[in-house]
Amino acid sequence: MKHLIINASRKYSHINRNIYGHFSEHLGRGIYGGIYVGEDSEIPNIHGIRQDVVEALRYIKVPVIRWPGGCFAEYYNWKDGIGPKEERRRIVNKSWGGVVEDNSFGTHEFLDFCELVGCSPYIVGNVASGTARELSEWIEYINSDDESLMADLRRKNGRDKPWNVQYIGIGNENWGCGGQMRPEYYADVYRQFATCIRTCGGTKPYKIACGADGPDYKWTEVLMRLAGNYMDSLSLHYYTMPGYYTTDEYKWEKKGPATGFDESNYYRTLRRALFIDELICRHKYIMDQYDPDKRVSITVDEWGTWHAPEPGTNPAFLYQQNTMRDAIVAAVSLNIFNSHSDRVKMANLAQMINVLQAVILTEGNKMVLTPTYHVYDLYKGHQDSTLIESYVQQDMIGTEEAQVPAVHVSASEARDGSIRVTLVNLSASESQRIRCLLCSGEYHFASVRYISGEMNDCNEFDKPPRVSVKTMPDIQIEDNSFIIDIPACSVNEIVLR
């Protein structure tokens, strides 16, 4: 038996709800088919936006969505996506598969979609092939309530009130698809763009600079030194690519299959996912040198598993299945983001629908909620609560090559005084008996919801779901202590009242 200690009298940072955010790009079926089907579709829709998807996203309280990319953002001209649909420019999506992009989903559609979901929009500006003027006009179009040229254009296109969009990304992966820039050069370009983006309609932009590719600590150091004073946040991208050795032991593949993997691949995936803790610690350490008051936040605006595409699908569409392994990755990552919520104020899973580690898969009029979706359901109560102290006794498990902790925990106190503990059992095969000790307060019962299964379990179209949220009978708490058995390969939400 392991001991879990929860101490609500030791309070840490506020858990910003945006840590539970998402990312959706013009990539594969992420937007078209996944979110937008058009008004003439037989699939129930609201002005072309899928009703089933909106309802599912509202249920998990999606707080923020990042759009239009990704690499796509760096070739996007927002003026292509406004005005009458039949007059919108058709372009080729050179970033993702060379397919035709008819721009029928543009600024109005995205911002209407966010209103339907009840979340904040996060817009990424084009730095590599766009200009500071284009981005500042886009913001004027979206946010201005003056008699200005761009605000008038918006009114002409049917939207009277401004949308008041706060989150603005200045570029995406400018060390890669966003211009192959060196950090010193990007820092200057960033300063130029940041200066041109002004408050419009009373909404002060929250400026997010392009951050490092995983462990590129130099990027963070240079950006903080040269441009730290001009940003509200610095992003970070990190993908979990479990990989495998092929028959030729020297050949290393970064991406392995999304399903049908073995235990060594399972533990290697979890090991790589847990690495994000070290990454954030080290980037934070650098940021602390330049910004000890933590004014500049970290936005982990692309993270998640990146497996090989599903056989038979367009490889440029990055469509992958989603198993309990992905759910465990999501759960430990979200626990880690909570633990760094003094600096991490937003995180966006890549990508929301039909792309990479999606929470929803669609096929025509069908929709599947993935195991990762259910993690967001189990974790939604952490949003806007306060991180509190938690500690769990540990064994290391896994394979010789990839050792991981057996259990992983995060705990928070909600505004109503209830405590939420999210407890993950990383073992593929062993359940865990845990004695939970509550160091302060007085609690009477614990309600538990969970998902569990075999590591390869996933939800498929036209089949009953293998992974769904289940409830345990309430547990009586006596003398601020109780025992819980958590199944192998499971994610558990325990609410103490």
Catalytic site residues? 173, 302
> Binding mask 356-395 vs ligand AHR (x if CB under 6 A, - otherwise)?
x---------------------------------------
Nearest residue (CB) to ligand AHR, 123 versus 404: 123
Residue count at the site for ligand AHR (CB under 6 A)? 10
Q: Is 494 in the site for ligand AHR (CB under 6 A)?
A: no
Give the whole-angstrom CA distance, residue 384 versus residue 74. Answer: 32
Q: How does 335-363 read in b/e, with b if 16+ C-beta sit within 10 Å?
A: bbbbbbbebbbbbbbbbbbbbbbbbbbbe
Residues 6+ apart with CB under 8 A from 91: 80, 100, 101, 103
- Given 6, 8, 71, 448, the residue binding ligand AHR (CB under 6 A): 71
Least spacing, CB of residue 30 vs ligand AHR, in Å: 9
| Site residues (CB under 6 A) for ligand AHR, limited to 295-334 | 302
Helix 107-117, helix 132-143: angle, nearest 10:
50
For residue 1, what is the enclosing H or E element? none
Least spacing, CB of residue 100 vs ligand AHR, in Å: 18
Region of 247-255, 350-358, 429-437, 467-475 interacting with ligand AHR (CB under 6 A): 350-358
For residue 144, give the DSSP letter: -
Nearest residue (CB) to ligand AHR, 291 versus 302: 302
Least spacing, CB of residue 432 vs ligand AHR, in Å: 34
Q: Is 231 in the site for ligand AHR (CB under 6 A)?
A: no
Q: Is 70 in the site for ligand AHR (CB under 6 A)?
A: yes
Residues 6+ apart with CB under 8 A from 53: 34, 35, 353, 360, 362, 367
Nearest residue (CB) to ligand AHR, 31 versus 406: 31
Residues 64 and 18: beta-carbon distance below 8 Å: yes
Nearest residue (CB) to ligand AHR, 24 versus 385: 24
Nearest residue (CB) to ligand AHR, 172 versus 322: 172
Q: Which residue is nearest to ligand AHR (CB)?
A: 70
Least spacing, CB of residue 86 vs ligand AHR, in Å: 28
> Binding mask 433-472 vs ligand AHR (x if CB under 6 A, - otherwise)?
----------------------------------------
Region of 66-74, 181-189, 204-212, 475-483 interacting with ligand AHR (CB under 6 A): 66-74
Q: Tell me how far apart the terminal alpha carbons of the chain are, to the nearest angstrom.
A: 24
Residue from 214, 215, 210 nearest 235 by CA: 210
- Bridge partners (DSSP) of residue 64 are 120
Region of 69-77, 254-262, 463-471, 474-482 interacting with ligand AHR (CB under 6 A): 69-77
Q: Is 69 in the site for ligand AHR (CB under 6 A)?
A: yes
Q: Is 351 in the site for ligand AHR (CB under 6 A)?
A: yes
Q: List alpha helices for 231-361, DSSP H.
A: 263-290, 324-339
| Site residues (CB under 6 A) for ligand AHR, limited to 120-179 | 172-173
Helix 263-290, helix 217-227: angle, nearest 10:
30
Least spacing, CB of residue 71 vs ligand AHR, in Å: 4
Give the whole-angstrom CA distance, residue 144 versus residue 136. Answer: 11
| Percent composition of the chain: helix, strand, coil (DSSP 3-state, to 5) | 30, 30, 40
Nearest residue (CB) to ligand AHR, 177 versus 439: 177
Residues 410 and 430: beta-carbon distance below 8 Å: no
Helix 107-117, helix 51-59: angle, nearest 10:
50
Q: List alpha helices for 398-475, DSSP H.
A: none
| Site residues (CB under 6 A) for ligand AHR, limited to 13-32 | 25
Tell me which residues touch ligand AHR (CB under 6 A): 25, 69-71, 172-173, 302, 350-351, 356
